[in-house]
Amino acid sequence: MADALPIPTRNNTIAEMFVMNINCRFSPRQNSTRFSDEKDSSVINTNDASVASSAEATLMSALPSPAMSRRHLLRGVGAGALAVAGGSLLAACGAATTSSSTVSSGAASGTVGLQLVFIKNVQFAGSYFADQNGYWKNLGLNVNLMAGGPNLTVEPVVQSGKALVGITHTAQAVKAIINGADLQIIGTGFQKNPFVLISRAAAPIKTPQDLAGKKIGVQALDLPVFTAFLTANKIDKSTFTIVPLQSDPTPLVTGELDGIMGFYSNEPNFLRIKGVEPYNLLFDSFNYPLMEEAYIVKKSNLQDPAKRAQIVALMQGESKGWLDAVASVDKAADLAVNNYGKDLKLDTSQQVLAMKSEVDLVVTADTKAHGLFWMTDTLINGTVNSLKLGGVEATKDMFTLDVLNDVYKGKATV
């Protein structure tokens, strides 16, 4: 039922493994979901040649193929959780440009697409509020929320014009730009790197130096990111033991392992459900910053007055929607479970836990000062450096604040 996991080989470059890891690990943050066997007409399978021009096909061939990951771990939490062999649950896998554009934004109108990187669960709660509360409609836009999934790559959908804006992984977007895509990152939902080293609160690993003498579980696809994190902190791998980890964090619960590498909104919640309080060492707090949930657009559209107006209006509505989402976690979960993701049979309690975790990544002192999705010089420089540690040669001009400057006009809210 699920695609085979991508296995790193000696033919994979460090950069390819790094992007493969990001692609698999960032998307499926919400557990306890069910994939319908029916084809979702809103999902474009980028492996189908009929949906892409030859130019798109060239771009797609330059990107790692999306794959199912091991991210949905909460066994039995959701009524529709996807069961896999053996009872395991798997999931689908300077500064920014700030110069004022001479293109007038004007008034927005028309129907546009917002391509999501994953299925319609709580990770896109801000978009649901923007739609539900009429924020886009009031700005003259009809926005089609296009569900993503394990067989979809966002970049070709935006490049082709099928979607005006896409939400994707930062490393994936950078890789596409390197390979010639006419794309630019205009904002990021996650201000903090969501990767964490998780230990038990009763025996916490509080700093990278505390790894000495410990047994740490790391999944195969996480090794490039984990290795880059160790490099950033000058930690010698010979001072502790790395143990191959499958999708199940139970060895941490039972004490077989001292820590595991995971994702802030997933494994820690698994431990809590098991009655074990986790201690989270955020990679972001130890020399490994990485902005995520990147909003991408065609760079050429920023010079088109009508398209630019639509992009600005979409991001204005998105900002207002996310303000509602962070202020009402329960309502955000309700919209995902009972409305936009109704067919997925999501678990409400899990979606609430996931949303609470995401608020920690979305709202920071910077976003309170400048607005949601803001990319400070420090964050951009840090993200560029972290990606380079993983072999992805990002540059600062791949990011621009032009759109958010138009969205906020010097304020912190729309």
Topology match between the domains 14-192+290-408 and 195-285? yes
Q: CATH: 1.20.1290.10, 3.10.180.10, 3.40.1110.10, 3.40.190.10. Which one for 195-285?
A: 3.40.190.10
Per-residue pLDDT of 178-228, as tens digits, reads 999 999 999 999 999 999 999 999 999 999 999 999 999 999 878 988 999
Top-confidence residue, 281 or 15? 281
- How large is the C-alpha radius of gyration of the chain? 20
Token pair recorded at residue 100: 């004022």
- Provide the Cα torsion 369, 100, 173, 15; round to 10°: -90
Distance set, CA 11 to CA 6, 7, 47, 62 (Å): 12, 10, 21, 15
- Give me the pLDDT at residue 306, please: 97
The yes-or-no verdict on residue 30 having pLDDT over 90 is no
The Cα 87–Cα 150 span in angstroms is: 20
Contact 294, 188 (CB under 8 A): yes
User: In the chain, what are the domain boundaries?
Assistant: 14-192+290-408, 195-285
CATH assignment of 14-192+290-408? 3.40.190.10
Per-residue pLDDT of 334-391, as tens digits, reads 999 999 999 999 999 989 999 999 999 999 999 999 999 999 999 999 999 999 998 9
Q: Please, which residues have CB within 8 angstroms of residue 134's CB and are 6 or more apart in sequence? A: none
Per-residue pLDDT of 282-325, as tens digits, reads 999 999 999 999 999 999 999 999 999 999 999 999 999 999 99
The Cα 29–Cα 45 span in angstroms is: 21
The Cα 57–Cα 73 span in angstroms is: 33
Cα 248–chain centre separation = 21
